[in-house]
Amino acid sequence: MASAPSTFPPLLASPLARNSVPLRSLPSFRADVIVVGSGVAGLATAISAADDGAHVMVLSKGRIEQTNTNQAQGGIAAAVGNDDSPQQHADDTRRLGYGLSDGKIVDAFTSAAPEAIEWLIESGMQFDYDDNQSLDLGREAGHGVARILHSAGTATGREMQRTLIARAKSHPRIDVYHATSAVELLKDAEGAVRGLIAMSNIRSATDFDTVVFEAPALVLATGGGGQLFRETTNPQLATADGLAMALRAGADLRDLEFVQFHPTTLYLAGAARFLISEVIRGAGAKLLDKNGIAFLEECHPDAELAPRDVVSRAIYRRMIATHARFVSLDMSSLSSPSIRFPALAKICREFGIDIETETIPVRPAVHYLVGGIKSNLHGQTSIQGLFAVGECASTGFHGANRMGSNSLLEGLVHGRICGKNISKYATSERRWLSPVLEKVKPQIDAELNLNDMTYSLKSLMWSEVGIQRSAAGLEEAHELLKDWESYLSRLAPFTPQGIEVLNMVQVAQAIARCAAYRTESRGAHYRDDYPQSSEDWKVHTCVRADAQQFVITSEANKWAAPKTA
């Protein structure tokens, strides 16, 4: 394992370089706390901080419900069953982290899970119950017992989003700004983050204004970056904006090479990559290859309930071996699947598939960014005033591979912890940005096809930084991304789409380089040329922008071992 820093020179240009408006002339909005993102992590943070007396502004890139949380079909994991305990939940989580889980974080989050579920129920969230009026708990890959709570089968995320939105909108100290795209973080003279530049349609439904939001504490809860890849379960707004802003601000990012693929998404031309939850395989559905052969038992002892990275690679390899574009999900052994899984039955029916009698074409797709902005138990990043929670953060909870249904839990618990901490921080740090800000460079007008750039990026990342990687492919990806960023940073328009594409290209560079730096296979990162895990690589990769370069180093995992009594 290399111990010396590894550098490479991206431009890391700021989108502000294309804004011709003097920053000091922009409208400014002030609060105690700014939360960027309206999924479970963002709203849990906002509600918790507001409950403790802080004035919070929540910035939503689209409508408040347009989040990964709203689309989550799995469930939320918590040790609430009679045969379960937070310690068992923690042990399973660490096992699936492949040596990179932070034991202190894992213990804290799993211990807080049962109380967080009670908080959701008290807030009005409707969970599924069995015939005995007990919580109906399911089991997913990696979990030793049934501990997954669901709402209406596969609508857990939507119900959680509804519950949190209702609390946020009714809170007297929370203001929500829709259709507001964060552009760049702003720092004070001491280098602390004190706000951001954003583009918002506050005054017009069609025209975007450039505005400043200021606060002593700023929380990034911007979700993941699935749209960097051709095949993804993520919504269109998941373009890694928070990671890009943090990179340009000089924050530490960690473990970006760990990109988790969900094994089963609906694969039909013209259809959205509808996620087919693991709960269906947990109920007995089987994956069949082109020839109708069930193949997972030969790949892993847990077969259909093997970890997601194992199942995804098994599907990918079987597709190659049988020259197929997909494998099939067979639900014929399940009783009344249309009744048990109505959302899946409905979407399949619209495309002419009867799940009672026909198999469903599926293939893997990018689902979750395991790495992200390095943050601690209280959400604090490496930059004063900047906090990160949820999928855009790297707390060490997931290690090298996320266990199913732990993401909603992390967002909920970490958001609540961060909110309580941040309310005290914000009210003691009321310093505002200086009104004297430099005028930025004028915009350059040129023809640039952003749709073509986006398609090229997604195809490149899928083929070279996807399920299986190699040094040659990662180097090719980096060289192309570096060239694209060099002219994109000069020519992309100062519009929400232009900023999104720049963010995606810059974060894609960091992912590709981190994947090249880790010369082993571990968890959600697999190298054809280094197919084995190495004890020397039981470390985190850290990347930051320093003097117009990315610097990659390794960091020991201080909390790898379980906490002792």
Q: What ranges do the domains of the chain cover? A: 17-258+370-428, 264-367
| Gap between the Cα atoms of 440 and 564, Å rounded | 54
Name the β-bridge partners of 549: 546
pLDDT in tens, 364-418: 999 999 999 999 999 999 999 999 999 999 999 999 999 889 999 999 999 999 9
Count the residues in the chain: 565
Site of tokens 């980096």:
478
What CATH class does 17-258+370-428 carry? alpha beta
Name the pLDDT band for 128 (thresholds 50, 70, 90). Answer: very high
pLDDT score of 475 more than 60: yes
pLDDT of residue 423: 85
Half-sphere exposure of 122 (CA within 13 A, CB side): 6
Please list, in sequence order, all residues whose beta carbon lies within 8 angstroms of the beta carbon of residue 227, skipping any fewer than 6 positions away. 234, 236, 237, 238, 239, 240, 454, 458, 504
Question: Do 433 and 195 meet the contact criterion of CB atoms below 8 Å apart?
Answer: yes
| Gap between the Cα atoms of 4 and 21, Å rounded | 42
Pairing of strands 539-546, 549-556: antiparallel
| Gap between the Cα atoms of 549 and 149, Å rounded | 44
pTM of the model: 0.91
Q: Which of 315, 221, 334 is CA-nearest to residue 261? A: 315
Residue 308 catalytic?
yes
Question: Do 89 and 77 meet the contact criterion of CB atoms below 8 Å apart?
Answer: yes
Amino acid at 488: L
Question: Do 55 and 419 meet the contact criterion of CB atoms below 8 Å apart?
Answer: no
Our CA angle for 119, 176, 52, nearest 5°, is 45
pLDDT of residue 447: 74
| Gap between the Cα atoms of 33 and 59, Å rounded | 11
Fold match between 17-258+370-428 and 264-367? no
CA R_g for the chain: 23
pLDDT of residue 22: 63
Instruction: Give me the sign of the Cα torsion angle 193, 177, 35, 250.
Output: negative
Q: Side by side, which strands form the sheet with 148-149?
A: 76-77, 148-149, 137-138
DSSP H helices in 301-341: 308-321, 337-340
Pick the CATH number of 264-367 from 3.90.700.10, 3.30.420.280, 3.10.129.10, 3.40.50.970: 3.90.700.10
pLDDT score of 187 more than 70: yes
In the set 18, 308, 318, 522, the catalytic residue is 308
Report the b/e string of 373-385 with b at 16+ CB within 10 A: bbbbbebbbbbbb
Name the β-bridge partners of 294: 288
Name the β-bridge partners of 135: 129
Name the pLDDT band for 271 (thresholds 50, 70, 90). Answer: confident
Pairing of strands 6-8, 549-556: antiparallel
Name the pLDDT band for 64 (thresholds 50, 70, 90). Answer: very high
| Gap between the Cα atoms of 465 and 491, Å rounded | 26
Q: Could you tell me the two tokens for 230? A: 């051709």
- Average pLDDT on 350-369 reads 95
Distances (CA, A) of 281 to 46, 129, 186, 276: 35, 20, 46, 9
Q: Considering only 10-14, 68-72, 407-411, which range has the smallest mean pLDDT?
A: 10-14
pLDDT in tens, 288-308: 999 999 999 998 888 988 888
Torsion angle in degrees (nearest 10) through CA of 421, 423, 425, 427: -160
